[in-house]
């Protein structure tokens, strides 16, 4: 139900990307457990190391707005998140579902499929997050 709206929000966010060097514009949208959608886009810097990815911006926007449980994340254009973004996503929900549209079909992939055998919070023996 929310997947189409998520993909549309990611597409719209992609239009705002700042990627003058790589030309790799990207948008992301994240859904929280209350049904709210937060979006983000790539913001690229000339030195690349300061670049923030669309997935990170969308998640940070959700957290800054008070979202407690993030459940799904859509990407546009259709592609898998990089390793840094996978780790970033997993920090906020090891059971995130990634949504994308390919060949006109909405597809999903789980964090376990994207990032198996990952180092996470549980390896630090800390109490669970919210």
Catalytic machinery residues: 55
Beta strands per DSSP E along the chain: 27-32, 37-41, 70-76, 97-102, 105-110
Q: Is 10 helix (H, G, I), strand (E, B) or coil?
A: helix
CA distance 1 to 124: 36
- In terms of Cα–Cα distance, which of 58, 54, 53 is closest to 31? 58
User: Is residue 82 within 8 Å of residue 107, measured between CB atoms?
Assistant: no
């Amino acid at each position: 139900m929310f997947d189409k709206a998520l993909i549309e929000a990611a597409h719209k966010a992609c239009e705002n990307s700042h990627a003058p060097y790589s030309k790799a514009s990207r948008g992301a949208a994240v859904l929280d457990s209350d049904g709210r959608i937060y979006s983000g886009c790539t913001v690229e810097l000339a030195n690349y190391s300061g670049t923030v990815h669309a997935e990170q911006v969308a998640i940070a926007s959700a957290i800054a707005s008070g979202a407690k449980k993030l459940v799904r994340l859509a990407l546009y254009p259709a592609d898998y998140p990089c390793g840094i973004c996978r780790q970033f996503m997993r920090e906020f929900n090891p059971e995130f579902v990634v949504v994308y549209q390919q060949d006109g079909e909405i597809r999903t992939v789980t964090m376990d499929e994207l990032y198996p055998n990952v180092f996470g919070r549980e390896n630090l023996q800390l109490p669970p997050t919210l």
